Chains A and B, each alone.
Chain A
Amino acid sequence: MLHSQGLNMAATAAGKKVFEVFVSKVPWTVATKEVKEYFRQFGQVKKCLLPFDKETGFHRGFCWIGFTTEEGLQNALQKDPHIIEGARLQVQKNRKPFSGRKSNKEAEDN
């Protein structure tokens, strides 16, 4: 199934079929692992991009989460508030696809 999806995607060049949310106000104490673990409750997380600033060693406080399904995305958007380690995250639908964006942290779940 994945196979045909992949082919299909490539053939039609339909672009991203990742369902992304943009998360901001991520507390400095959590890193990719924690964020991913948190968002897993809403659906399969395909990617989690939490850029770190190599100048300071801290992350920048925002990240992108890509769900494999629309459902995951909707679940995440419907939940409010999102609290991780006592801090309230801001979660919104991602407006710009992050294609081509470079990352030092990218992960896929299968």
Chain B
Amino acid sequence: MVSPVALWLVTWCGCPSLFCLYRLNMAALLRSARLLKSPLFLVVPMMWTDLYTLLFCSLSSYTSALPCVSCRQYGVVPEQRGLVKDEPSVAVRSKQAQQFDWALAKLDSSVRRTGRVTKTLLLHIFHDICRTGYPSGNQALLMLRSCGSLLPEVPLVERIELSQRIWDKLQELGATYDVSHYNALLKTYLQNEFRFSPTDFLAKMEAANVQPNRVTYQRLIAAYCEVGDIEGASTILGFMKSKDLPITEAVFNSLATGHARARDMDSAEGILSVMKGAGIEPGPDTYLSLLNVYAEKGDFAKMKQTLEMVENADIHLMDRDLMQVVFSLTKAGHQQYVPEIVERMHHERGYVPDAMNLCLSLITHGHEETAFSVLKSFTGLLVQSQTSDSPDLGNFFLRHCVNMDKSVENIVRFCKDLKDSGLHSSPLQFTLQCSLEAKKTGMAVELMRRMKEEGVPLRPHYFWPLFTHYQKEKNISGTLQALRAMQELGVASDMDTFSIYILPSFPSVDSARTSLKVIVLDMCVFLLFYVTVLKHFGLITWVDNLSSPALPNVDLSAFRASLISGFRGVKLVLLSFFAENVAYFLYNLIDSMNETEVHSKEEQLREYFGLLKNMNISISLNIFRGIRNILESYQVPELVKLSCVSQIASCFCQGLEGKLSFLEKTLAELKAEGKTASSTLKKVITVLCAEEVKRALELKILYEADMTPAAYAMLINLCCRHDNAEEALKLKMELARKDSEVALDAQKYVALVRVLSKHGKLEEAIDMLKEMKEKDVQLRDGTISLLTLTMNTAAMKGDANSIRRLQEAIFTLGLAKPSSNLCSPLITCYLESGNYAGAFDATVEVHKQYNQMPKIHDLICGLVEKGDAELLQNVVEFLSQERGEMMMLYDLYFAFLQTGRYKEARKIIETPGLRARPTRLQWFAEKCIAAQQMEPLENMVDMTVKLFECDRDDMYHCLLRLCKETNDWQKAEATWMKMQEENLAPRERTLRLLADILKNNDKEVPFEVPEMTGEEMAVSINTHIQHHVLFIKTADPTTHFAISQTTVVFNQYPSSFCLLSATDHVPEFSLSDNANSLLIVSQVKRCQMKDALGTLKGMLQADQVPSQLAITRLVQGLASEGNTQDIQEVEALVKTLGSIKLSSMLFVNNAALAHIKNEDIDSAVELLQSFYIQNTDNQKSSISFVFRKVLDANNDAALDKLSAMVERLCNHFASYRAATDLFLMYLDTGRTEEAKFLLQRCAAVNEQKDAMFTYMLRAAQQPGQAAKIKALSELIPDFTEKENIYSHLVKCCGLDKDFSSAKALYERMQAEGVKADELTLKRLALLYKEAGEPVPFEEPPESFSFYADKLKKQRSESMEPADC
């Protein structure tokens, strides 16, 4: 065989006389390769084929760089337009960081689930980045890296266009590109089989002053090799050599492809021995390169041979690799071999999404037949994941066929196959859905035709998506075309189709009529006619006019007449179309008739109701009530009956009564529980003594009689702290003698347990635990860890017995649930003494008893170190039996890593089917970082490269964290290189960390460093704030520096003073969301309403989100100026935001106030009235704010009309909210007489107990409100239980420090037999004590918050069922 070295010489130098030189070069190359035999470079195969997806560690790139040599278009690197942009603000930067994380998470989850990204998602993120402006470097990186094989659904040409567009656009927006970006761009070229000139590429990099690195050269070599240009590849190799860069496996793999593409199979095959000669072991990717070149040639014998070689070399080719081979075979037209390759798949973890992506790529490339055969090969796997009864396998396949406009012929055949083989229950329907979604009318109609042939029913709504589409586009001919198809297919169009989906496409009635006449059946035209007539002359105008008080009465009868006749004619169409408005219209109609009119029109109205009934119209309850009340007052009982018969009132009303009874129940429960009075009254002794045990004990003897349990508890604790077990125990026994009921708190008990067990008093310690149980002492986390500590002390003494006893007591008593921590001391006890067998037995024991498995890592490490294979085997078997094989493998893996047995570790982590467990990997990484163990961590990061679903950025971040700890910049730099080679887009935190390490060592940072987030910035700014504020006052505000500095300060610390003065001086400030919101508030305060509105608009344009407060203040300010128009504008503006939570009443209330301000009270009344009438839900919304303002302003004119409205709502519409609000507002402003009067006129307010109760709750929050609550309870004595009223009154007295009232209250409660809850007693007791009077009852022992919590808990517990 010809020496590959010699061949190389010829291809490279082309001149025999340079043989020696070449040989020298080769030797140097090989030397440099040998130098690299550190585990990091050579052990890990550098996969150049799918580095890209390593970003998410889910590889899916079988569409890698396998070019068709014929298309030799050369691309040019886009020019770097180094626009210098202004420094982005802190807010933008922090938004960038958030956005990056968001985008990464989005893409990540997409790749994790499906192994791919959709174009829609990618574009969505891209546009989002563009919208914000100032794209960061790694946002750009993330985008670029998603433009390759992660898009199997997108044709190659489109992908390239996309990546170019992203490159140009982001650069234009100011993203700075470093070498990692160029490398990423190269990768997209390779993955998308884009032909370009590598030398031009290098020239562009040079022009942009970006230095290529090893990864750049490797990819350029790959690019040359793709087109079989070995000469070009050699040139680059020369570059690498001259820069002393190491040659890695990836280069050799490329060369194998290169030789083959240059039709030099001998050299291609020779690569293996060249590599071996250079001391580089060929990896899976080397063989994959060979397999791919054989596949392209259709040489199946060689392929088989290579596969055997792979097996013999103990190398594992992943399914994903084999899928690449399938792709190569298909593309080269050798599909016949595909089944044989498919059979060799192992069906590893992640196989299904990968296989799906293979199918998608094949379809994209026009090989849907092969794709279908691949699909059929793994449907068995899909079936397993199928949960529903009706199978729908292959949906993704059908959808992509639709998207790629495959012929209906083919698609129908696939559908038939899927259906016949029982894989899909309704493939045609699904495909139809896809084509409808994709708005492919032609395909959809064709599919429906097929469905009809097969006897599948077609329905009118199948056409709705098409109509919707055309309607949006105002595409009349499209609408007509769809309509025609509908008729041709014999689908009868129904009313909805016409009224909602067809008509709105037409600009006018006439145009619709003319267009439709031509093609539509008469019946349809008829319907259409009436609907449109109504729409244009009909109800909406009607209702609007009728409800407006301004409308003169003149034409009403004419309107009515035409409407009634309209009803007769139009029937169905009319009413369903305007169902919502009909009800309100009806009320207005009847309301506008006088009694005689009603009587004379009784027949017509009767007909009306009859029509309504027939037409399935329902009217909400409150409008029904309104109608009923009028009819009743007009004495037309027959009509009343009819209106009911016709079921106008479909009772949709919220069950107000239900809620009340529920509250009553809650209160009853509270009462029952609250009355269990505690037996002991605990006196608080503040400090008996500090740290002096002796002195304390002396004092105790001195004042023996005065010793309270609390004093004992403190003393006991003190003794425990001083490790005095004897005395502590003595005191405890003494205390028990004095009062056997008394319990210590958990912490003191545990302290006692600890000191007792430490001093060998195990039985006594266990007695304490038992006592805790008896007295129901609750343990918190802190105290539980004290227990662990107690047992660990025993472990250090090797006292396994004590630990067992304590453990048993703790768990069987139920003091704490068994946890890994609590169980670990027992294992530690054996491990400490080197008794591994004992440790294992203890592990089994603990697992059996408590289902815990602590200290496994330590145990396995010990066994590995000791080389005790037999016991290790037992442990492993035990683990995989109890926790599953996966967990066992991780345990073993970490143990091998920890003990430096990396070869074994690698074997384990490469186990097929193993997937990343982030928590476990993180656990080990943290362990390494804490212990500053670089070697095991580095090895873990390397070995997990191909681990399914491994978050690579997380891995590298951990590695860099350790580099930071040890300040190892060389390691950090090497890490960065590896990240590029993996084609990873690091998160910002990772880049910052890396930059930090480099900077600390005075090294150049070769990339743009993302700025800190706002939060981080705030901390660093804090110290400089004073300086900056001073600076703003003095500096020339026009300088850029001043602006950027002050912007930073304001955005972090917006204060209204600074903001106003700053924006006055420097109008070009760009402020953050918060600062702008504050600015609005300040402007409103200064009555600069126009400015404030301007600021808001500016914010919305800049995609900023104003605060709730800012909008509220602005709207209130506008109302105080009577500016209804701007209120409406703000409402419309804010509506688009969606995300902020505003009071639902903000706009209604303030619009009403604005009307009132303009002395247009009628408009205000109309607004509020229709608000309550039109929607039952609105009963919850309060207009107290309006009443408060009107009352405060003593606006009697407004008040008169408003109270008339309130009565109307209450008595005609059963809408009580407004009346209740007014009533309470009267009460609140001390207008008791008015309140009383209102109550007489609107008796139903009496029943609004919910609102009253809420009012009381709120009032009792602030001092000075007792009188209001009293007044309320006098007017409506039964609005809640007496206990409730009294407890809130007591609360008020407490707030007011009004002892005499409180005392009087308590006496009244006694006299009336009203029981007080514990919290109320607590409050009363405090008042008595503060007044220096004896407390006439037993004060509840616990704290205020204890009882408050108790009440709250009781309340929420009894609330819960309501929420379900």
Contact = CB atoms under 8 A, between A and B. Distances in A.
A39 to B, nearest CB: 16
Contacts of B425: 86-87
Given A56-B468, A57-B464, A16 B651 contact: yes
Contacts of B466: 57
B942 to A, nearest CB: 46
B649 interface: yes
B313 interface: no
B655 A15 contact: yes
A52 B624 contact: no
B464 A87 contact: no
Interface string A24-52: 00011111001000000000000000001
Contacts of A3: 641, 644-645
B437 A9 contact: no
Interface in A76-100: 81, 83, 85-88, 95, 97-100
A59 interface: yes
Given A10-B644, A31-B459, A15 B468 contact: no
B923 interface: no
Interface string B624-661: 11001000000000000100110101111111111000
B654 A52 contact: no
Contacts of A104: 496, 500
Contacts of B496: 104-105
Interface of chain A, helix or strand or loop or mixed? loop
Interface stretch (B53-61, B613-621, B1319-1327): B613-621
A60 B1345 CA distance: 48
Interface string B200-237: 00000000000000000000000000000000000000
A83 B466 CA distance: 28
Contacts of B4: none
Contacts of B658: 15
Contacts of A85: 426
Contacts of A54: 468, 500
A52 B644 contact: no
Given A86-B426, A88-B388, A106-B579, A56 B465 contact: yes
Contacts of A31: 459-461
A57 B649 contact: no
Contacts of A57: 436, 461, 464-469, 501
A6 B643 CA distance: 9
A31 B579 CA distance: 20
Contacts of B429: 27-29
A3 B644 CA distance: 6
User: Which of A29, A55, A107, A108 is most buried by chain B, counting CB atoms within 10 A of its CB?
Assistant: A29
A35 B658 CA distance: 32
B390 A88 contact: yes
B644 A14 contact: no
B651 A100 contact: no
Contacts of A17: 651
Given A59-B461, A95-B1364, A10 B436 contact: no
Contact of B426 (A6, A29, A52, A105): A29
Chain A interface size, as a band, is: 35 or more
Contacts of B468: 54-57
Given A100-B1176, A106-B616, A6 B644 contact: yes
Interface residues of B, number: 51
A58 B438 CA distance: 12
Nearest to B652: A99
B745 interface: no
B426 A102 contact: no
Nearest to A103: B579
B644 A13 contact: no
B1176 A99 contact: yes
A10 B625 contact: yes
B390 A86 contact: yes
Interface in B50-99: none
A110 to B, nearest CB: 8
Contacts of B388: 87-88
Nearest to A97: B652
A56 B654 CA distance: 32
A14 B655 contact: yes
B1152 interface: no
B1235 interface: no
Given A52-B461, A106-B618, A13 B1177 contact: no
Nearest to A46: B650
B347 to A, nearest CB: 28
A85 B1364 CA distance: 32
A15 to B, nearest CB: 4
B465 A13 contact: no
Interface string A46-75: 000000101111110000000000000000
A15 B651 contact: yes
Nearest to B625: A10
B158 interface: no
A88 B389 contact: yes
A58 B464 contact: yes
B1062 to A, nearest CB: 44
A105 B650 CA distance: 15
B433 interface: yes
A2 B643 CA distance: 11
B477 interface: no
Interface in B1327-1362: none
Contacts of A13: 621, 651, 653, 656-657, 1214
B392 to A, nearest CB: 9
B465 A83 contact: no
B1036 to A, nearest CB: 53
Given A105-B496, A108-B616, A14 B651 contact: yes
B426 A10 contact: no
B862 to A, nearest CB: 53
A99 B650 CA distance: 9
B206 to A, nearest CB: 51
User: Which of B467, B651, B1175, B1176 is most buried by chain A, counting CB atoms within 10 A of its CB?
Assistant: B651
B580 interface: yes
A54 B504 CA distance: 12
A10 B616 CA distance: 19
Contacts of A18: 650-651
21 contacts: A2-B644, A6-B644, A10-B621, A12-B657, A14-B655, A15-B651, A15-B654, A16-B651, A16-B652, A16-B655, A17-B651, A29-B429, A52-B461, A54-B468, A57-B436, A58-B464, A83-B389, A87-B390, A98-B652, A99-B1177, A108-B647
Nearest first, the 3 A-B pairs at minimum CB distance are: A99-B652, A57-B465, A57-B468
Interface of A: 2-3, 6-7, 9-10, 12-18, 27-31, 34, 52, 54-59, 81, 83, 85-88, 95, 97-100, 102, 104-108, 110
